[in-house]
């Protein structure tokens, strides 16, 4: 049964100006069991984002869990409680994303759909293949460097936990870049998100753009 490793150590990456990321390697024990259950049983579907005036289908698939519906694995109840206790927040649900192979990925972005970005807690549990996971300051978003201005690659592996907190969504962007290969094994991430209503809400173009999970989208 997957369970949180009580001996896992948290290392805090201080990004400055109230932004930080906690990294806990090997935070979940027996992570393979959870990975296989989610990979095989979750009704994965294509992610569609409305951007400005049209829908864009992303190179990944996803699903949501909300309170009052059956958990995709019973271990996720204790996992969620443990995160809530450590960071003293309440999560109303969690999202799940699957990068099916090396062709799937996500460009640099902030989670602006949360709207309140000044003080957030976003937990990300990684399962399956190790993939690059890049961070860059917003000031570097126009960089023409090969790494697109990335300053950190946290590269979480199976059972590793990342937690972005404070002003990270306000001042930093993150990415899971494609690696270009069909042969790479899938990576699944589970995300818990909480935003405190402090500061000024994000009011950029289409901050309320809905994320919808439509048709099943198997990767050939």
| Structural domain contains residue 147 | yes
Which pTM was predicted?
Answer: 0.88
| Structural domain contains residue 207 | no
Nearest to 171 by CA among 50, 36, 21: 21
Angle at alpha carbon of residue 143, lines to 138 and 146, rounded to 5°: 120
Nearest to 8 by CA among 163, 118, 215, 188: 163
| Structural domain contains residue 141 | yes
pLDDT at 167 (0 to 100):
97
pLDDT at 210 (0 to 100):
42
pLDDT tens, per residue, the chain with 220 residues: 999 999 999 999 999 999 999 999 999 999 999 999 999 999 999 876 655 555 667 789 999 999 889 999 999 999 999 999 999 999 999 999 999 999 999 999 999 888 889 999 999 999 999 999 999 999 887 777 777 899 999 999 999 999 999 999 999 999 999 998 889 999 999 999 999 988 888 876 543 444 444 544 555 5
| Structural domain contains residue 208 | no
Helix or strand run (H / E) with residue 168: helix 168-171
- What are the backbone dihedrals phi and psi of residue 57, each rounded to the nearest 5 degrees, phi first? -90, 125
pLDDT at 74 (0 to 100):
97
Tokens 């027996």 -> residue = 30
pLDDT at 112 (0 to 100):
85
pLDDT at 50 (0 to 100):
57
* CA–CA gap between residue 173 and residue 108 (Å, rounded): 6
pLDDT at 211 (0 to 100):
45
| Structural domain contains residue 188 | yes
Cα Rg of the chain (Å, integer): 17
CATH number of the domain to which 179 belongs:
2.60.120.590
Q: Are 140 and 209 in contact (CB under 8 A)?
A: no
Q: Are 195 and 115 in contact (CB under 8 A)?
A: yes
| Structural domain contains residue 39 | yes
| Structural domain contains residue 209 | no
Domain span at residue 124 reads 3-198
Strands (E), 70-132: 93-99, 106-109, 120-128
CB-neighbour burial class of residue 76 (10 A; exposed 0-12, middle 13-18, buried 19+): buried
| Structural domain contains residue 65 | yes
pLDDT at 54 (0 to 100):
58
Number of domains into which the chain is organized: 1
């Amino acid at each position: 049964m997957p369970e949180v490793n009580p001996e896992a150590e948290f290392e805090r990456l201080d990004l400055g100006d109230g932004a930080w990321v906690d990294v806990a390697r090997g935070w979940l024990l027996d992570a393979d069991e959870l990975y296989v259950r989610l990979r095989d049983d979750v009704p994965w579907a294509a992610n569609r984002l409305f951007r400005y005036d049209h829908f864009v289908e992303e190179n990944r698939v996803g699903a949501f869990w909300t309170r009052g519906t059956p958990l995709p694995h019973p271990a996720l109840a204790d996992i969620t409680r443990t995160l809530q206790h450590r960071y003293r927040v309440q999560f109303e649900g969690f999202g799940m994303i699957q990068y099916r192979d090396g062709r799937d990925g996500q460009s640099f972005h902030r989670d602006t759909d949360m709207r309140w970005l000044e003080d957030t807690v976003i937990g990300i549990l990684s399962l399956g293949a190790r993939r690059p996971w890049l961070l860059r300051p917003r000031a570097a978003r126009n960089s023409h460097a090969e790494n697109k201005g990335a300053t950190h690659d946290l590269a979480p592996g199976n059972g590793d936990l990342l937690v972005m907190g404070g002003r990270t969504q306000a001042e930093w962007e993150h990415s899971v870049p494609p690696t270009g290969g069909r042969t790479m094994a899938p990576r699944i991430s589970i995300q818990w998100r909480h935003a405190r209503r402090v500061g000024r809400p994000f009011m950029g173009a289409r901050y309320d753009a809905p994320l919808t999970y439509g048709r099943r989208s198997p990767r050939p």
